[in-house]
Structure 1
Amino acid sequence: MKARLLAVALLAALALAGAMVYGLNHLDEAAPTQSAAATSPAMVERGAYLARAGNCMGCHTQRGGAPYAGGRALPTPFGDVFAPNLTPDPATGLGQWTSNDFWAALHNGRSKDGRLLTPAFPYTNYALVTREDADALFAYLQSLPAVAQANRAHELRFPYNTQPAMAVWRALYFRPAVFKPDAGRSAEWNRGAYLTQGLGHCNACHAPRNSLGATPAATDFSGGMLAPLAWYAPSLHDPAEAGVADWPAQDLRQWLKTGSSASSSALGPMGEVILGSTQYLNETDLAAMATYLQSLPQHAAAKSTQRRPEPALRELGKALYADHCARCHGEQGEGVKAAYPALAGSRSVQMQNPANLLRIIQRGGFAPATAGNPRPYGMPPFAGILSDTEQAALASFVRNAWGNQAADVRPLDVLQLKTQRVN
């Protein structure tokens, strides 16, 4: 809380300087001059594929709304951001935009009128996208049916809702740069890096954020708390969290394609990514992403001080597990192959941060229904059945049964997770 107040004070103090130095209409990067190639059906088709790779529809479509027409609320620690209309409606969408305008948004984080866009739109990643891919994306968006749906104003707190604050943030944390292949790596590795760091914007979730919401770098995947959603995006560098360096490559490709592998199912926000994005990637790109992800440096995260075990809490959890969980997950947490994941030895269960385990207990576990796994098994929610103490007890038991070893979860942990959650 102190850090956040300090950040507000800093932004307020720098806002005037930001406005003077970076003026609201001052372009700190050269304006793009390259024009798009003539639009063709192949270009539109390519753009549609790239839009899937970036999961653009996931943010720019509200539940029950027209595709890409915007309106979905994106909760942040600074207030809600509402995704804009990307359809070619001339009044409320991109109908009056040019390919240069779209490139400026992706590469420079600026709207058609010169406004600085909020970094909730991950232009820190999208800046890596090539001009050719940006033009293809724009061609696809222009081919969509126009939907007249006015954009909703963001609901950010002061000073985060000001253009000077955006200018300061950019001065501190943003430098546009198109992806540059690593000459020492294979073409497959570079393709995977391009997709993961750029359009896939994977570290927008899988990286820690500072008090102003900035991530360290597009190559940092050391894990981050999605505070408004109360989910934790685990570290891809940590073998004990979500590192995949030792996975069989085929298993990783299958997981990205179907949301399920022999040892893991994708749940929560990652399930949404697979549902709307990676299941549609071709085998070449899936292999490239797998190659890149498996090359990430592996190192264990620092461990916090171990809590003193609470035997009474675990005993309560043992009884709750027998009543509510053993029928599917097995008396020894062994699970059922291709149906119910094993809890014994599970990384997700034993992660230092228990947020995801608690969220699954509360909301249930539902893998994405993909073409490769059209009828996944699911787990019902228990938030309306188990109290905070019972949720903590159940989590503590499964984190320490059948050879698992992790810190107990306290009722206060459950309460804190509930209070930070937006939806």
Structure 2
Amino acid sequence: MLRSVSRFAALLRAFGRVFGNRNVRNIQLAGAGDVLGTYAYGVALPVYAYHAGGARAVGLLFLARFVFAALASPWLGVLADRWSRRRLMLGADLLRCGIFAAMTAVAATGGSAYAVYALAISSTIISAAYPPARAALIPSLVESPEELTSANLVGNSIASVGMFVGFALGGVLLAVSTPAVVFAVNGATFLVSIAFLLRVPADSPPERVAHPRFLPELTTGFATVVRWPALRTVVGLSAAQAMVEGALMVLVVVLALQVLHSGNAAVGWLNAGMGVGSIVGVGAVAVLASRRRLAGGFALGILLWGFPLAIAAATTTLAPAIILLGLVGMGVMLVETNGMTLLQRSADNEVLGRVFAVLQGLIFASMAVGAGIAPALVTWLGPRGALLAAGLFLPVLLVPTWPA
């Protein structure tokens, strides 16, 4: 007991060091600006697509976004290990500002939905450059493994608050305005991210012990993941979780509009429930980290991505569905924080960007599969059956894949 208290106190001290580290703090605040609008946009885009073409349009749009992002991720991971990671993040933010200005103009003037879809796909591809660069940059800014865990926890805590506020903001804005307004808000938040990134000193590209040709360099991340069993487990289960996440992006709209019959704003409230749950999940991550149980926390997160979603199939009113998605939100925090820290501690800095690019590429590909099959699940099994099937997938998969 005393040992756990002392470890938890040490973790809190590491939290203090993270907030006292100006560079890490600015990276985290840049992420806050990025996350806030992105989650509001995550409510508006599927609603826009649903009203333009139904659940099929939502599924196909997310399928296309994630397929192209998955294909681009390995190439962008090479850039994260060749270029300044800060500069890559700044470039991604600048390009997305322009894209969302164009998306706002098209949606506000009643332009073609296909133009909005094309811009959304372009934004997702460019966004794929940001997380690997950020995840690979943070270890060079901290001073200890405990501070690295805390930096990831702080980052995911900020993301959780941004998820809650962003989803709620998206729901409120949709209730009183149009998706075009939400698109404009998202574009503006990238300017906030740029302002904080400019306060971080320029970094140098990682030193390379060898200079291989581009194709072997491109596949190094895959080879690293395949070679290490721990990396294979974390990356594989994260990809499976992403498949359920992709399906949920479609199913949450179906849950709100077809199962609960609660209107467009309910999409925002259900997603906001996930945001609140992820904030609560910060405490669970802190306790598990104080006991150095990163792997156990990761597995618990995988389970929380499954069972509550299966139970949501039986709900008939909005409130219990929000609570259940809150439990899923706890799983989000556990999976992302523990998974990221396990990868950062296991891979060398020289290939870290490419390892995270492999993870992100597989996540995008899995989300594409999930988003693509979700409408078919709704057709075959009905809305409630689709939710049940999606919820049972991860618990069933965890048993044979988790190391003994």
Give the shorter-chain TM-score range: under 0.3
Greater relative contact order (CA < 8 Å, ≥ 6 in sequence): 2
Which has a greater percent of helix?
A: 2
Which has a greater percent of strand?
A: 1
How high is the TM-score relative to the length of structure 1? 0.24
How high is the TM-score relative to the length of structure 2? 0.25
